[in-house]
Amino acid sequence: MKIAVDKIENLLNAKISPQNIADILKKSKALQRLSLEEVAILLSVEDESLLAQIFQAAHDLKENIYGKRLVVFVPLYISNLCNNECLYCAFRTSNKGVVRRALTQEEILKEVEFLLKDGQKRILLVSGEAYPKEGLDYILKSIETVYSARDNKNRIRRLNVNIAPLEIEEFKKLKAANIGTYQLFQETYHKPTYSKLHVKGPKSDYDYRLTAIDRAFEAGIDDVGIGILFGLYDYKYEVLALLSHIEYLEAKFGMGPHTISIPRLEPASGSGVASNPPAPVDDLSFKKIIAVLRLAVPYTGLILSTRETPEIRRAAFDLGVSQISAGSRTNPGGYTNQKTADQFSLGDHRSLDEVIYDICKKGYIPSFCTGCYRLGRTGLDFMEYAKPGEIKKKCLPNALFTFQEYLEDYASDKTKEIGQSLINRELNNMGFIQEKTENLLNKIKKGERDIYV
């Protein structure tokens, strides 16, 4: 697989006109994928009035597909062992100021039990790109440990994985471990920049990393996530290259990624590169990135982490973000107060309940739903529901069920009050599925758990 470098660089000089923008937005609102040429035009917009049109179109499109739902998850760092030299990362092998830890299975269990008592139900398992002696078995055992944890009736219902690229046979083992999404970021698609910033270790092989998603698909994993670390190279090039990658995957496998992550480079212990990004992305440009990605790939989830401040996260809800992390720590043992270095600095230090309350104040329904993954609605099967708009009939009730559980078991009083009001609002607008949804919500109030459709 090759990124169409010459084509992308030519597109970066695309000329725009208000009529071009109107035509592109009309196409996107009709839920049609945008071409690289059309995305390049949107990315080149600087005029405030045209940007306002793009932002409004992204907002409308998100509401059309996702409604008022916002999926919530939490990262779980189990190891900061790493044999790579990525100049922007605190975990890089030469950073001697970092206390190295790979959590034991007992420690992982305690971390997960803490998260369950907080109300979490969806975890992203993250590891540095080196493992203890067991190798991949360490990851597989850790997955089993996460799924074994309990807090009364609560358990982790979906575990996504962000680990180093694997071979096909290894990906098959990962799939057999019942993961949700396999997530891997290219970091930067600009090969000269990639080589300059990844100077040693397996991750220095640009092409091996780029083709990892191919191997995951070939191993039968049909739910993958990709991403860019914005700030390493020109954001316009990166977005076009990422979409080029998606076009390639769709042509070869009939489907692209289920999610795209959009982190910005943040300060990291011992890294001058992280403190002074080579290609910084300001807040307005970042909002444009979110809106353009939402318009470009309507059915792909956009993930925003706690790298960003609460203010930026609130704005992002309206521009196309559909998943966020909350109550995060980025160091092994961070939830049980073990003293290891964070991978990067956080912008949002609020608790899960504080984030949930804030989501509610914006009028969104926090969702911990995992129904599609547990019923096999992934990959091409998911798209069969999503494209005609049928997925809403599943996603909204499931979001309400998981949110009702949170309100019953973990929410503060003020979150319960505003949350129940939002659930009642949604019930009143559900039409023919209202009665069934209301009956199942009443079962949750009486103590039943893990209801989904």
What is the rounded average pLDDT of the residues 270-287? 95
pLDDT in tens, 383-419: 766 666 566 677 899 999 999 999 999 999 999 999 9
Tokens at residue 398, please?
């499931």
What is the rounded average pLDDT of the residues 200-205? 97
**% of the chain residues with pLDDT over 70:** 97
Give the domain ranges of the chain: 64-350
Q: Which pLDDT band holds residue 270 (cuts at 50, 70, 90)? A: confident
In contact, 88 and 232? CB cutoff 8 Å: yes
Q: Which of 321, 312, 296 lies closest to 63 in space, CA to CA?
A: 321
pLDDT in tens, 93-146: 999 888 899 999 999 999 999 999 999 999 999 999 999 989 999 999 999 999
Predicted local distance difference test score (pLDDT) of residue 184: 98
Looking at the predicted structure, is the pLDDT value of residue 80 above 90?
yes
Highest-pLDDT range among 63-67, 138-142, 376-380: 138-142
First to last CA, the chain: 38
Task: For domain 64-350, give its CATH number from 3.20.20.70, 3.40.50.1820, 3.40.190.10, 1.10.260.40.
Answer: 3.20.20.70
What is the Cα–Cα distance from 47 to 43, expressed in whole angstroms? 11
| Better pLDDT: 338 or 327 | 327
Looking at the predicted structure, is the pLDDT value of residue 438 above 70?
yes
What is the rounded average pLDDT of the residues 86-98? 92
Predicted local distance difference test score (pLDDT) of residue 392: 67
In contact, 171 and 158? CB cutoff 8 Å: no
**% of the chain residues with pLDDT over 90:** 81
Highest-pLDDT range among 27-36, 73-82, 345-354: 73-82
pLDDT in tens, 166-193: 999 999 999 999 999 999 999 999 999 9
Which amino acid is present at 132? P
Determine the 3-state secondary structure of 404 from DSSP: helix
Predicted local distance difference test score (pLDDT) of residue 389: 59
What is the rounded average pLDDT of the residues 252-274? 93
Predicted local distance difference test score (pLDDT) of residue 339: 67
What is the Cα–Cα distance from 100 to 442, expressed in whole angstroms? 48
What is the Cα–Cα distance from 63 to 362, expressed in whole angstroms? 13
Looking at the predicted structure, is the pLDDT value of residue 238 above 70?
yes
C-alpha count within 13 angstroms, C-beta hemisphere, residue 318: 12
What is the rounded average pLDDT of the residues 50-57? 97
What is the Cα–Cα distance from 160 to 124, expressed in whole angstroms? 5
Predicted local distance difference test score (pLDDT) of residue 20: 87
| Better pLDDT: 325 or 380 | 325
Q: Which pLDDT band holds residue 311 (cuts at 50, 70, 90)? A: very high
Q: What are the CA-CA distances from residue 77 to residues 91, 259, 342, 431 (Å)?
A: 12, 20, 10, 42
Work out the mean pLDDT of the chain and round it to a whole number: 93
Predicted local distance difference test score (pLDDT) of residue 345: 76
Tokens at residue 403, please?
């949110």
What is the Cα–Cα distance from 110 to 146, expressed in whole angstroms? 10
Write down the H helix ranges in 184-234: 191-197, 206-210, 212-218
